[in-house]
Amino acid sequence: MKKGKLIFWLAILLAIVGLAYVKYSKSKATAGKMQASGHRGSFGLEAKGFVVEYSKLSNTLSANGSILAHDAVQLQPEVSGRVTYLNIKEGAFVSKGTLLMKINDAELKAQMLKLNTQQKIAQSNYDRLAELLKIKGVSQAEYDAAENTLNNIKADQQILQAQIDKTELRAPFSGKLGLRNISLGAYVSTSTIVTTLQDVSSLKMDMSVPERYATSVHVGDKVQCTVAGNDEPFYATIIAIEPQIDELTRNLKIRTSIQASNTKLFPGAYVQVGIKLKELPNSIMIPSSAIIPDDRFTKVVITDSSKAKFVEVEIGERTENEVQITKGLKLGDTVLVTGLLQAKPGMPVRISEISSSSTVK
């Protein structure tokens, strides 16, 4: 009986010892992981560092653009009426001034015929009174009244001719017609879009860049472009820059001229643009992971006598993985790139691995 109790208590003791050992092993493993990831240990903070050096900043700004025709317009009539003539061949090239559509003007022409008759009579009366005035056969007042009547009729003729001209739709410039939206005999109004006309002999492209790059782009700069479905890049030259930044988007609008005609490019196409910014030979570049964003200041952590020190910096250009530092760091500083959340001012720091611009590149 006593032997059985001894075995029972011995089993309980072994179980307690086993549980304590497992708990100790897990605690040790957890501490090891925290230490490896940069958490603070008994010695302070273990982290990876980056040595500040000069490097060349060669940055390419990515932007989006849209291709435009040299000239483009939606053709709409100036007056409402029934279409009596239609000369729109879809996709065809037309010259400037070509008559594309005619609206019924029979009533206007009848009014013009009436005014022409009145003008002949008024002209004859004016000529007769002018001869009589030379021999004092009529008064000056009668002559002036005849002249005024003739001038009023001529003015009415000009007004009516302008109304007749509005019944004609002509090509405002040479270009390629779009799709026809009406048929012969249709009734159209001033809001009816009959077709489109585009001059694609040369193409333009509009794009936008963030306002912080406003001083980095200039008229005459060349940009590289690509469109969907065509891997071959083409080039465009900046010809104009909007003098005002958009207050809503905070972007600057830029217009470019596409250098060579390309039959694979169409107005309205979406373009991916690469703008090569000015190369800066002596720039301080650090990894983006070293930046600590703040509401008021941008900071980094450096090691000063093996202790953490927070430094305010000013940033410039950004690349995919690096940030340019324009103020706050000097050559030889070691910037922490890991353990930033655990770092505190004055905390001892041990650098486990160090890199620089030369090793990264």
Q: Is the same domain home to 261 and 219?
A: yes
Q: Is the same domain home to 117 and 145?
A: yes
Round to whole Å and give the CA distance between 106 and 108.
5
Round to whole Å and give the CA distance between 186 and 82.
6
Whether residue 65 has pLDDT greater than 60? yes
pLDDT of residue 79: 96
- Domain of 235, in residue numbers: 61-70+201-276
DSSP 338: S
Whether residue 279 has pLDDT greater than 60? yes
- Give the mean pLDDT of 267-289: 86
Q: Is residue 269 part of a domain?
A: yes
Q: Is the same domain home to 255 and 303?
A: no
| Count of CB atoms situated within 10 Å of the CB of 354 | 12
Q: 317 falls in which pLDDT band (50, 70, 90)?
A: confident
Q: Is the same domain home to 266 and 220?
A: yes
Angle at CA of residue 216, ends 213 and 220, nearest 5°: 125
Whole-model pTM? 0.64
pLDDT of residue 38: 43
What's the structural domain count of the chain?
A: 3
Q: Is residue 150 part of a domain?
A: yes
Q: Is the same domain home to 272 and 315?
A: no
In tens, the pLDDT along 3-31 reads: 566 666 666 777 676 666 666 555 555 44
Tokens 């109304």 -> residue = 163
Q: 108 falls in which pLDDT band (50, 70, 90)?
A: very high
What b/e readout covers 70-89, taking b as 16+ CB neighbours within 10 angstroms? Answer: bbbeebebebebebeebebe
Which amino acid, 169? Answer: L
Beta bridge partner(s), residue 187: 82
CA gyration radius, the chain? 41
Q: Is residue 78 part of a domain?
A: no
Round to whole Å and give the CA distance between 217 and 241.
9
Q: Is the same domain home to 303 and 335?
A: yes
